[in-house]
Structure 1
Amino acid sequence: MLTYPDRISSMRETKRLHTLQKREQRGYSDEDDYGNIPVPEDFRFAPEPGGIYGYGGLSKAFAGMLDRYPVYVDPMEMLCGRWSKLLTDYRIGARWDEARFPYDDLKPLQKLYNITSGIDNEAHCTPDFAIGLALGFGGLLEKVRKFCQFRRVIHWNASISENFHSGQYRTIPSAVLRRQIFRQTCQKAQRILCGFASVFGA
């Protein structure tokens, strides 16, 4: 039967091949060795014109990418799913609108102390996992729907709230569909792994 060393050896070889393929696709890079997989040759995605900005643009691009994202499951791995491309790969031009939001007062100190500013870069964020685990995707959608009804009654921040919650309505169903696809693929991968075990078992 398959042993843990067998699985580790298989995962290491897969990682080595992926690293070589990513270097062919993107060229040399001096950065973290991310856990992403090579981009499949048949993967095609382009965000809508107008850029990936604001609640509307970001939610449309994110949902659109999820709908087209390749499903990757390795029966040897413990976790399901990998990423291959980021939305930031599709951003064109400057990331920060310095004409509208200048920070000239900070630049002298940044230069003096050789500070690499994070102003024009994306940032990691920590979502509230407790809400998602407690409510589930269906509960999250219901919460958004109820708040939209409440907003319409009191006429509060109409334009901002409309864009924000419309974005949530776009992304949550895409995440639900992605989870269903992963679940089906995991079931297939589990059957494949059981087949391997029966072939190589004692």
Structure 2
Amino acid sequence: MNDEWDRRAPCPGQPGFLQPGEQENWHLNPETVAAQQVCATACPVRLECVRRARTSGTHGHVADGVVAGGIICRGDTKTMWALRDLEQQLAPVAAQPAACLGCERTFVESGYPTHSGTAHHAGRGLCHGCYSAARRTESFTNVRAIRPTHCIGPDCGKPMVSNREKPGPGQVRHHAKSLCTRCSEKSRTRTKKAA
């Protein structure tokens, strides 16, 4: 533990947080029960403690012989799952962005149809198309680099801007699948006629 941790956490040096020797039923001790209560109600670093306990055991395994986040850690799989579940409960849920970080189409709720300029969220702030492209290129760090710079439509090739920007002279607005709005509509019309 570091000095910052020692200042913020209520557990260092307090009874009940560590298993005394090889005592098997230490979880029944009044000090241990009190330690669990302190974790659950008064610990300002509970989430950090749970995250550390998941990997602070021998050889990077889950902790053993300590109370972490209110959980009796025994170094087993059951402890690992309990810590993981508690971490998910405690971790703040990241808000879904309003638009895709890749193509900047606006997200609509899952189950609702998408229209021009909208998409469904797939993960990591990306729509399904951008998420697939990021997985193919194995590059989730710089998603905007995935967005095409020129339309790939036949006889087009014009420079593209995002669908939220106003196109300048000679530019077109990106729609989806590396196509501008006009080429995307043409592609849809061709697909409908072929069917």
Say yes or no: TM over 0.5: no
Higher strand share: 2
Computing the radius of gyration from Cα coordinates, the structure with the larger value is 2
Normalising to structure 1: TM-score of the pair?
0.17
Higher helix share: 1
Report which structure shows greater RCO (CA 8 Å, sep ≥6). 1
